[in-house]
Amino acid sequence: MKKNMLIPLFLFLVFYLLSFVINDTIRLDLIGKNQAPSLSHLFGTDWLGRDMLLRTLKGIQLSITLGIVTALLSTCLGLLLSLLATFNPLFDKLVAWLIDLFLSLPHLVTLILISFVLGGGFKGVVIGLMLTHWPAITRVLRAELLQLQTMPYVQISKQLGKGFWWRARHHFLPHLFPQLMVGFTLIFPHAILHEASITFLGFGLSAEQPAIGIILSESMQYLSSGMWWLAFFPGLTLLMMIILFQCFAKAFKHYLERDRSYGHYFNG
C-alpha cells in the first residue's frame, strides 16, 4: 500500500531534482548538431548542437515548478472562496457572480491580458494562470459544500456548539479532499500546457528560459524535416512526469482513506 505511493513520488522527485544536480551549462556544439538519439546523446541534439536530454531535464524542472505552484495557488484560492461562499449568503452571491464572469470570458484572452499587464515572466504567468484556473474548481467545491450543509450530521455539529471554522476544518475539509486532489491533478497539466501556449504566442516566459513549452514550440519548425526526437522525447518525458504524479496522487488518496480499524487482521 505504502509502496504504491512512495515509488511514483520517489521517481517524480528524482527526475525533478536531477536538473539541480547537473549544473554544467548546456554547451553549443555546432559540429554535432541535428544528431539522432545515440549513446552519447540519448535524446539527440538540436539545431545548435545542444544535448536534448539536458535541455529536457532543465525544462521539466521549470515546467513542473510552474505547474505545481499554479495548481497549488488555484486550489487554495478555490477552497478559500468556496468556504467564504458557504460562510455568508452575501459572499455566496458575490462568488457565484465572479465564477460566472470568469467562465464567460475566453480562458486564453484573460490569461494573456493578466500576464501582459504583470509584465510576463515566471511571476506574470503564475499569477495569470492562478486567476484563470480557480473558477472551475471553485464551482465544484461550492456545489459540494452546498450539498454537505444539508446533511444532518453537519447541522447537528452546529447544535453541538461547534463554530463555522471548526466545522470547516473537521467536516468540510476531509470531505473536500478528494475534490481538491482531483482539481489539483487536473490543473497541473493544464497549467503547463497553457504556459506553453502563451509562451508560444510571446506573452509568457522569455525564450531563453528552458521550459518544456518553449522546447516544444521551437521544435515545431524542425519536425517537418524529420527531426522527430526534438519533440518526441521532451513530450514523452512531460507525459511520464504527469502520469507519475497522478499515480502518486491516487495512491495518496487511498492511503488517507484507508481503514485502520481492522488493519491488524490483514497485517498479521
Partner 1 sequence: MLEVANLSYTLPNQTTLFDDISLTLDEGEIIGLSGASGLGKTTFAKVITGYLPAQSGEINCKSLKNKPHPVQLIWQHPEQSVNPKWRLQKVLEEAGDINKHLLNQLNIPFEWLQRYPHQLSGGQLQRICIARCLLTNPSYIIADEITTMLDPIAQAEIWQLIMEYVQKNKIGLLIISHDHPLLENLCEKILDFTQFVKPFEGLSRNNDEGVRT
Which residues contact partner 1 by CB under 8 A? 151-153, 155-157, 159-163, 170-171, 174-175, 257, 259-261
If the CB atoms of residues 155 and 225 are measured against partner 1, the closer one turns out to be 155
3-state secondary structure of 51: strand
CA 75 to chain centre: 10
If the CB atoms of residues 154 and 247 are measured against partner 1, the closer one turns out to be 154
If the CB atoms of residues 55 and 171 are measured against partner 1, the closer one turns out to be 171
CB 260 to partner 1: min, Å: 8
C-beta of residue 70 within 8 angstroms of C-beta of residue 122: no
| 43 Cβ contact list (under 8 Å, min separation 6) | 37, 51, 52, 53, 55, 56, 229, 233, 234
If the CB atoms of residues 34 and 157 are measured against partner 1, the closer one turns out to be 157
Angle (deg, nearest 10), helices 121-149 and 89-104: 130
CA distance 30 to 11: 33
CB 181 to partner 1: min, Å: 14
CA distance 98 to 159: 32
If the CB atoms of residues 163 and 202 are measured against partner 1, the closer one turns out to be 163
CB 141 to partner 1: min, Å: 16
Cell of 33: 548538431
- Which among 235, 229, 184 is positioned nearest to 214, based on CA atoms? 235
CB 32 to partner 1: min, Å: 58
If the CB atoms of residues 119 and 161 are measured against partner 1, the closer one turns out to be 161
C-beta of residue 66 within 8 angstroms of C-beta of residue 122: yes
CB 151 to partner 1: min, Å: 7
CA distance 104 to 135: 10
CB 178 to partner 1: min, Å: 10
